[in-house]
C-alpha cells in the first residue's frame, strides 16, 4: 500500500472516531465550542490566506502595526491589482524567443486573500521584534533561487519551488516534485493558492489535513515518545498535548532533504535534521483559529522565529491532484533533453 493510501486510511479511521465522540457543546469554561470530552473544538476547514507578509517590509522600519488607513490602502491596492490582472491580455502573433519565460498561471488560479491580519500587524513574524527572520549562524548561507531562471546550486534542493537545473528531477524544488506543498510546511506559511487545512479530533489523536498536496499529519495525544532519531520524515514526527485550551504540536525528526525553514518558496535555510518546531492552535472566536509556530534551530539561526496567523473559518477542501496534473516537471526535463540533442 502506498503512502497516500496509508494516509487516507488513517484519516478515515480518525473520522470514524470523530463521529463517535466529538459533538460540539458550549460550556462555562470559555467561549470556544467544546467536544464531548470537554476539549476546545478545533475541527473544520481553516483558511490562512492573508495580505500580511511573513516578514516586515524594510521600508516599514520599526513600525509593528499599520494604521487603519494603511491597512485599507493595502487591501484596496490588492483589489485593484486583481482587477488589472484579470483584464484581457494582448494577443501575441509572434512566438516567444527560445528560452523566454512563458509564465505559469493566470490570475484566476491565485487566491492571495483580501485582507491583512485582524490586528493590522506589519508582519506575521512577532519574534524577533523587528518582524524579520534572524541572521543565520556565521558558517551558513541562505539559499536563494529564482522562479525566472535556474541558478547554480547543489543537491539536495531544499527550496519548495525553482531549481538548479534540469539534469534530473532531483534538480527541482520539493513542490515541483509534489513531495511537499509550498505553503503547507510544516510550518504553515501563506502563499499562492489552496490555502486551507482541515482539522479532525478524537480524544487521543488530531489529524491536520493540508489542502495542498493533500498531506495529512496524524498527531498522537497520548504521550508516546517521538520516533527514534534515525527515522526521518518529510513532515517530521509530531506529538501533541493540551496546554489549557491550546493544542500544542511539537515536531522533530525532519529529513535532511528539507530546509530548517523557508522564508519564501525560493529560499531555504539549513536542513531539517536540526529543526524543532512547536505549533499552537487556539480557538479565539467562532470563526477564528489562532495558529502560532516557533522555529527552534540554534544550529541554523541566531534566534528562534515565532509567527502568528489568525486562520478564518473556511468553506470546503478541494482535491489537489499534484502528480496527476504535474505536466511542468516532465516538460522541463524533456525540453532540456531536446535542447541537448539539438546542440549535438
Cell numbers that stand for 127 in this block: 519574534
Question: Dihedral sign, CA of 106, 109, 114, 120?
Answer: negative
Only one residue has cell 541562505, namely: 142
- Please indicate, yes or no, if residue 256 is contained in any of the structural domains: yes
- Please indicate, yes or no, if residue 293 is contained in any of the structural domains: yes
pLDDT at 125: 98
In this prediction, residues 218-241 reach a mean pLDDT of 98
The tally of CA atoms less than 13 A away on the side-chain side of residue 242 is 16
- Please indicate, yes or no, if residue 119 is contained in any of the structural domains: yes
- Please indicate, yes or no, if residue 33 is contained in any of the structural domains: yes
Cell numbers that stand for 178 in this block: 509534489
Cell numbers that stand for 240 in this block: 501533541
The number of domains in the chain is 1
Instruction: Give the helix/strand (H/E) hosting 311.
Output: strand 305-313
The reported pTM is: 0.90
- Please indicate, yes or no, if residue 127 is contained in any of the structural domains: yes
Contact 256, 271 (CB under 8 A): yes
Q: List pLDDT tens digits, range 106-121.
A: 888 899 899 999 999 9
Contact 56, 131 (CB under 8 A): yes
Q: List pLDDT tens digits, range 135-144.
A: 999 999 999 9
- Please indicate, yes or no, if residue 183 is contained in any of the structural domains: yes
Residue 262 pLDDT greater than 80, yes or no: yes
CA angle 115, 196, 306 (to 5 degrees): 70
Query: By percentage, how much of the chain surpasses pLDDT 90?
Result: 80
Cell numbers that stand for 17 in this block: 472516531
- Please indicate, yes or no, if residue 94 is contained in any of the structural domains: no
In this prediction, residues 53-64 reach a mean pLDDT of 98
Question: Dihedral sign, CA of 217, 199, 121, 279?
Answer: negative
What are φ and ψ of residue 23, in 5° steps?
A: -70, 125
Domain range for residue 258?
A: 3-81+105-343
- Please indicate, yes or no, if residue 90 is contained in any of the structural domains: no
Cβ-in-10-Å burial (0-12, 13-18, 19+) of 20 comes to: exposed
Amino acid at each position: 500500500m502506498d503512502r497516500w493510501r496509508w494516509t487516507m486510511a488513517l484519516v478515515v479511521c480518525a473520522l470514524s472516531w470523530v463521529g463517535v465522540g466529538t459533538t460540539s457543546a458550549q460550556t462555562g469554561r470559555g467561549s470556544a465550542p467544546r467536544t464531548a470530552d470537554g476539549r476546545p473544538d478545533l475541527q473544520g476547514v481553516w483558511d490562512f490566506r492573508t495580505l500580511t507578509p511573513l516578514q516586515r517590509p524594510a521600508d516599514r522600519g520599526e513600525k509593528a502595526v499599520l494604521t487603519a488607513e494603511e491597512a485599507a490602502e493595502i487591501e484596496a491596492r490588492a483589489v485593484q491589482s486583481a482587477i488589472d490582472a484579470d483584464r484581457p491580455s494582448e494577443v501575441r502573433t509572434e512566438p516567444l524567443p527560445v528560452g523566454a519565460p512563458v509564465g505559469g498561471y493566470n490570475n484566476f488560479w491565485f487566491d492571495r486573500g483580501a485582507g491583512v491580519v485582524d490586528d493590522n500587524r506589519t508582519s506575521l513574524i512577532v519574534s524577533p521584534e523587528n518582524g524579520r527572520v534572524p541572521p543565520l549562524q556565521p558558517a551558513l548561507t541562505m539559499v536563494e533561487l529564482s522562479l525566472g531562471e535556474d541558478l547554480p546550486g547543489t543537491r539536495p534542493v531544499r527550496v519548495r519551488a525553482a531549481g538548479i537545473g534540469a539534469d534530473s528531477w532531483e534538480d527541482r524544488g520539493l513542490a515541483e516534485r509534489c513531495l511537499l506543498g509550498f505553503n503547507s510546511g510544516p510550518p504553515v506559511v501563506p502563499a499562492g493558492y489552496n490555502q486551507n487545512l482541515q482539522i479532525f479530533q478524537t480524544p487521543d489523536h488530531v489529524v491536520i489535513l493540508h489542502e495542498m498536496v493533500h498531506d495529512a499529519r496524524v498527531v498522537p495525544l497520548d504521550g508516546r515518545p517521538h520516533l527514534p532519531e534515525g527515522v526521518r520524515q518529510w513532515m517530521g514526527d509530531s506529538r501533541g498535548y493540551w496546554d489549557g485550551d491550546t493544542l500544542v504540536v511539537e515536531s522533530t525528526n525532519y529529513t535532511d532533504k528539507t530546509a530548517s525553514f523557508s522564508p519564501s518558496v525560493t529560499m531555504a535555510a539549513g536542513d531539517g535534521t536540526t529543526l524543532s518546531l512547536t505549533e499552537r492552535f487556539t480557538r479565539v472566536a467562532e470563526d477564528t483559529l489562532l495558529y502560532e509556530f516557533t522555529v527552534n534551530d540554534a544550529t541554523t539561526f541566531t534566534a528562534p522565529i515565532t509567527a502568528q496567523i489568525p486562520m478564518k473559518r473556511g468553506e470546503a477542501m478541494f482535491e489537489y491532484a499534484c502528480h496527476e496534473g504535474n505536466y511542468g516537471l516532465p516538460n522541463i526535463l524533456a525540453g532540456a533533453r531536446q535542447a541537448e540533442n539539438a546542440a549535438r
